[in-house]
Structures are given as structure tokens and as C-alpha cells.
């Protein structure tokens, strides 16, 4: 454990954007999922929501270069429940979906609380998802292909969101509560200790300046 590693992790958490999230509906190919999570980490998206028929939601570490583990993935039983969760948290849901009401993705104000809805690799966003979304966005294309790979589309749109948020100064100050940053640092640096604390109902330990656990003396 080094102070440099602790500093890098804390800096990462201080750039997280809690009101910018992603919702994946039936995106089940591991390489696509991993690539999307890698982009989420890169732009500061702390959480991805996932709806999948597959019980095992697998992340390819090779494709995500290990970054998939830094993004929380919350699973949902169905799409309406997932969308209600996101909208209930005050975020608008924008579906990457070609329709008569779709707008250029660059025309959306991504500095506002929002969540990007991405559909399955072949089918795209479902009719149900398109109906429940607050808006539709498209990436203008001038070639013969009808669409981009879902992970590529996610990267294009999320980096536009990052560009807008950088210009608005949303990365300049931490947007996560300090208590959440400390809790997450323990989970990232000491996952086994964090799991043990959760199982035993005990608070997480404090960390020293190098990221090592500060053990408190046992009380009789």
C-alpha cells in the first residue's frame, strides 16, 4: 500500500458524478459490458444499472483492464423498475434510440441529472424503454452503417457529457459526500475487511495516510 495509490483513488472518487449514470437493458455480451464500464470509470460515472435475463452478469477483466470493478453495477428485475429507480432519484432518462422525436446527442444538456439508456446489441432500445424514457438521442451518421456498436455509442455520448460537465466546472469540487468517499476507499483498498465488517455489522475502520487500516484497540 502506498500514499500515491491512496491519493489516486481519492482523486478518482472526488471526480465522480453521482447524477450521471447509465442504464443497460439486455446488454449481455461481456466484452460490450466491460467496455461500457471502462468508459463509465473514465468519465466519472459511479453507477451503472443493468436489466438482464442472464443470472450471471459477467465482466471481462481483459476488456475493462480492471476498471470494471471501480463502477458499481446495480441489477434490476425489469426495465420499468430500473427506470423508476433512476427517475425517482431525480434523473432524466435519455434513450439512445432512433425515432421521430430523437435529437442530436450534443443538443442535450448533460450537466443536468441524467441517465443514458442503452439497449441490446442487436435490437437496441425496446419499445417499452423508448416509451418510458424522457427523451431520445441519436448520433448523426453519414455512412452506410445504420448504427454503432453499443459500447462505442456509449463512449461517444458519455464523453460529450464529460465535455459539458468539464466546461460547467462540475469536476472541480468533490460531489460525493466525504463519508461515502471514505467508505468506498476501504472497499477498494481492503475488500475482505469491508466484507467482514458488513457481515458482522461493524463500522469500517479508518485509514492512515498510506491507506493502511488503523486498528482500534479491543474494548473489554
- Contact, 119 vs 93, CB < 8 A? no
**Strand ranges, E, within the chain:** 20-25, 47-51, 72-76, 92-96, 103-104, 114-118, 135-138, 206-207, 213-214
Contact 94, 130 (CB under 8 A): no
For residues 37 and 133, membership in a common domain is answered with: yes
pLDDT score recorded for residue 181:
96
The pTM assigned to this predicted structure is: 0.89
Note the pLDDT tens digit of each residue in 131-188.
999 999 999 999 877 788 999 999 999 999 999 999 999 999 999 999 999 999 999 9
Does the annotation list 157 as a binding residue?
no
Q: In this predicted structure, what is the pLDDT of residue 61?
A: 44
Strand partners of residue 48 = 22, 73
**Pair (98, 140) in one structural domain:** yes
Residue 9 and residue 28 in one domain? no
Q: What is the pLDDT of residue 57?
A: 55
Cα radius of gyration (the chain)? 19
Asked whether residue 25 falls in the same domain as residue 112, the answer is yes
CATH number, domain with residue 88: 3.40.1280.10
> Distance between CA 22 and CA 72 in Å, rounded?
11
From residue 177, alpha-carbon distances to 13, 21, 182 in Å are 10, 17, 9
pLDDT at res. 218 = 60
Structure confidence at residue 219 (pLDDT):
56
The pLDDT of residue 65 is 46
The pLDDT of residue 144 is: 79
Same domain flag for 142 and 76: yes
Q: With the C-alpha atoms ordered 47, 52, 58, 61, is the resulting torsion angle positive or negative?
A: negative
Same domain, yes or no: 81 and 135:
yes
Are 192 and 158 part of one and the same domain?
no
Q: Are 208 and 154 within one domain?
A: no
Q: How are strands ordered across the β-sheet holding 47-51?
A: 72-76, 47-51, 20-25, 114-118, 92-96, 135-138, 103-104
Range of the domain at 143: 19-167
Are residue 81 and residue 184 in the same domain, yes or no? Answer: no
Quote the number of domains for the chain. 2
Residues of the chain falling short of pLDDT 50: 60-65, 220
Whether residue 46 is found in the same domain as residue 78 = yes
* Distances, alpha carbon 116 to alpha carbons 61, 72, 174, 217, in Å: 23, 15, 22, 47
138 is in an annotated binding site: no
181, 82: one domain = no
Regarding whether 143 and 180 lie in a shared domain, the answer is no
Amino acid at each position: 500500500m502506498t500514499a500515491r495509490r491512496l491519493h489516486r483513488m481519492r482523486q478518482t472518487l472526488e471526480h465522480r458524478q453521482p447524477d450521471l449514470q447509465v442504464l443497460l437493458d439486455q446488454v449481455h455480451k461481456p466484452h460490450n459490458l466491460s467496455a461500457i464500464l471502462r468508459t463509465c470509470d473514465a468519465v466519472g460515472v459511479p453507477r451503472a444499472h443493468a436489466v438482464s435475463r442472464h443470472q450471471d452478469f459477467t465482466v471481462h477483466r481483459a476488456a475493462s483492464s480492471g476498471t470494471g470493478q471501480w463502477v458499481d453495477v446495480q441489477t434490476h428485475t425489469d426495465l420499468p423498475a430500473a427506470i423508476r429507480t433512476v427517475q425517482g432519484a431525480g434523473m432524466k432518462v435519455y434513450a439512445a434510440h432512433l425515432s421521430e422525436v430523437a435529437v442530436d446527442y450534443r443538443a442535450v444538456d448533460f450537466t443536468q441529472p441524467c441517465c443514458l439508456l442503452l439497449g441490446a446489441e442487436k435490437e437496441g432500445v425496446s419499445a417499452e424503454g423508448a416509451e418510458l424514457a424522457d427523451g431520445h438521442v441519436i448520433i448523426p451518421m453519414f455512412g452506410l452503417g445504420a448504427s454503432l456498436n453499443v459500447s462505442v455509442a456509449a463512449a461517444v455520448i458519455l464523453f460529450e457529457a464529460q465535455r459539458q460537465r468539464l466546461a460547467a466546472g462540475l469536476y472541480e469540487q468533490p460531489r460525493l459526500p466525504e463519508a461515502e468517499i471514505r467508505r468506498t476507499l476501504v472497499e477498494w483498498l481492503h475488500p475482505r475487511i469491508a466484507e467482514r465488517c458488513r457481515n458482522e455489522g461493524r463500522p469500517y475502520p479508518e485509514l492512515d495516510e498510506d491507506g493502511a487500516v488503523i486498528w482500534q484497540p479491543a474494548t473489554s
